[in-house]
Structure 1
Amino acid sequence: MSTDHEPGTTRGQRWAVPALGLAMGVGYIAIFLARHDPGMAVAGFVIMAVYVLILVTASRRSEAAAMLRGQTTDERRHAINRRASAFTLNVLVLVLLGGFATELIRGNSGHPWDVLGGVAGTTYVLATIFFSRRG
């Protein structure tokens, strides 16, 4: 069971993800107001604020919410985070390749799927080289 005051977690670490979420919400307000879309400005902020509120309140009772909040305090949680990240990467690559293929089938250039897929592939190759040398 997870608590808000886990050993090895500083106050700053516990509040980094919620603070970033609220900052993104404020960013949405600025972007959508600049685009003259106050409805989306409010909706964007509310979505982020509700997400942060759920993380903060649920992280006391839910290990998954605590991890989403950034509380990876032990090796087990680090392993879960690595597995979830790898799974997410695999799904994202499938979506990028599917989007690229769909655009080519439609007779289009494949852009922006080609750039996003290239960034993902290049990052993966470089990270593999880096981490294999680093140990």
Structure 2
Amino acid sequence: MAMNPTDPLAVPDPIQVATLDEIQRNRKVNIERLKVALVDMHKQVTEDLLRHEAHNHEGHVVDSLLAARCNAQEKRHEVKVHWRGLAKDEDSWEPAAVLLQDVPVAVKAFVKAHRKDESVDVLGKALGLSLD
């Protein structure tokens, strides 16, 4: 593309010459400023925010399994889960088959410990778990 002689020319900024000592000194100053900013940033983090971050970082972590039911509408067995770091009002009914894949040891232990409960016994049989 041809340039028009009346177009303004881009003139670079003048080059600043620095010695190696000046560059290292500026680098140290920048590192110290970053350290101070990082400390200030960490002071602003609250305990609730830390718990929330830990929860999101780990995903939903099963704290305990509470009950079992057969959801006729969804045509599946479900287990009530208490999630680590969350309040009891945030407990939820989750598909038993998914929990068996995600936390098999917890599901098997729950079924074994509560096998006298009819809904848990039905759950164990539906999942094909031996109750021995």
Structure with bigger RCO (C-alpha 8 Å, 6+ apart): 1
Same fold, TM-score > 0.5, yes or no: no
TM-score (norm: length of structure 2): 0.25
Give the structure with the higher percent strand.
2
